[in-house]
Amino acid sequence: MQNPVVNVMIKAARQAGTVLLRHMSKLDSLNVFEKGRQDYASEVDSLAETEIIRELRRAYPDFAILAEESGAMGKGRQTFVIDPLDGTSNFLRGFPHFCVSIALVENGEPTDGVIFDPLRNELFTASRGAGALLNDKKIRVGERKDLSGSMLITGFPPRERPRLGPQLDTIRGLLGEAEDFRRTGSAALDLAYVATGRADAYFEAGVKAWDIAAGMLLVREAGGRVCDFRGRGEQLLNGGQMVAGNIKIADALQKAIVQSGYAASFN
């Protein structure tokens, strides 16, 4: 049996997913605006977010909300953290890789999370202490023992381009051992894929709470580790950095980020 709050989050995520799919056939007519340099959103983001908030508030009117498009609403011990469309650039180009991400956060730590990929009908869920699921089946992080032959994921957010040099130095060093890198355009799905063993590890800077809250809980509940570039594992939602993988891979990746000088570029 799912936690009751997770059932509500699932319903909200599925409704938002329906909004996304309904608009995929009319991408050319969408109103698109630039929130920041090369950081885009559309009316679909807002429409999906409205559906999520309506459903969550119907069941939990006293919980606070932090949503990518609407910002912070209300105050309380528990906060729903919402990304109605993670992978907006993919969506706007018709690139089939995006999702809905919803987390419940208490005292700065996620307690429940849902990531829904409407194109593949893949539903990732997790609750603290109860494990992680993909379409109701238990998932675990991969078992790779070191970086040799690993499949890694990263991202290149526009706001982090001033640190691109150190990041590329890190990637260059890692490719001496890793099999390959992926850059998918959806941090939430990146973390979900690490949780289910499709990728061995992920790292990225410039991420926001709504990008990572649900995914970091998935990785933890799937037996993995999440930390920042310095190896700190607590209060990550406002830090803007994420390293995730099984315990051995995450540790090796975090140390590689330090050794390359990438971590020091944030000093």
> What are the pLDDT digits (tens) for 104-115?
999 999 999 999
Backbone angles phi, psi at 45, to 5 degrees: -55, -45
Give the residue carrying structure tokens 């996304």: 20
Token pair for 248: 């051995």
Q: pLDDT-derived band of residue 42, with 50, 70 and 90 as boundaries?
A: confident
How far is residue 97 CA from its own chain's centroid?
A: 13
CA distance 87 to 189: 9
Decide if 47 contacts 93 (C-beta within 8 A).
no
- Over residues 66-81, the mean pLDDT reads 92
- Please say if the pLDDT value at position 122 is more than 50: yes
User: For residue range 201-247, what is the model confidence (pLDDT) as tens digits?
Assistant: 999 999 999 999 999 999 999 999 999 999 999 889 999 999 999 99
Backbone angles phi, psi at 27, to 5 degrees: -60, -35
Share of the chain above pLDDT 90, in %: 79
Share of the chain above pLDDT 70, in %: 94
Q: 32: closest CA among 15, 53, 16, 46?
A: 46
Decide if 242 contacts 231 (C-beta within 8 A).
no
Per DSSP, the chain holds a count of helices (H) and strands (E) of: 7, 15
